Structures are given as C-alpha cells and as structure tokens.
Amino acid sequence: MGPSPRPARTLAAFRLLETAEEYLDFFGIRYAPEVLAAGRLVILRQLSRELAAVDGLTPPLEEPERLRRYEECLRRAYAVFRWSGPEAERLVLLGGRTPGSGCGGCGGGAGCGA
C-alpha cells in the first residue's frame, strides 16, 4: 500500500491538526525527525504566535491567502529552530522573537522592524 493521501488543504482540515508532524505533513514540508524531537515545543510556540498575528489581520484574509501565510509561518518557525537550535529555544521560551520571525503581518519586507 502506498503513502496515505495528503488531506485537502482547507482551513477546516488545518484546524483539525494537532501535532507538529501533522502540520508539516499538511503543507508537505520535509523535516528531520531529530530536529523536530529536540524542538517540537519551541516550533509550535513560535508557530502559534505567528498564526495569531496572521489571524489578527484586518481585513481578514481569504482562505487561500491565509493558508499560504500559515505555511510561511510554519516554514519560518521550523527553519529558525533548525538553524538556531538552543538559542532559538531560549528566545522563544522567554517570549522574545527569534531572528527573522517577524510578526506575520507584513511578510517582513523592507523597513519591517519586527
């Protein structure tokens, strides 16, 4: 039997996800199990902060754009931990922003102070 099909990429399906692996699989993001084992909590906390920023945008984003931003948030949260390791963990657990994490609102373009 082949791999199970990826779930439909809808907000309803996204809201059913619970584990870091489910989030990464949902967006088809490749990950190293050892990185995830070491940084699961940090990655999920950073993701939660960034998703809240996206969800707080006014006017609210349409579903496809919201999911695109969610994927960016997850990619960034995973990458920051992967490349920063313990330093990212310390910053996130203390409530600080990690380098490059931004707020999720502007996409971190030129002039972004986040």
The pLDDT value given to residue 80: 84
Flag whether pLDDT at 88 surpasses 70.
Answer: no
Per-residue pLDDT averaged across 66-85, rounded?
90
* Stated pTM of the model: 0.71
CA separation, residue 49 to residues 2, 3, 30, 37, 95 (Å): 35, 32, 22, 20, 10
| Helices 33-55 and 63-84, axial angle in degrees (round to 10) | 140
- Which residues have CB under 8 Å from 41's CB, separation 6+? none
Q: How far apart are CA 48 and CA 21, in angstroms?
A: 15
The pLDDT value given to residue 82: 82
Q: State the average pLDDT for the chain.
A: 79
Confidence of residue 95 (pLDDT cuts 50, 70, 90): low
The pLDDT value given to residue 39: 87
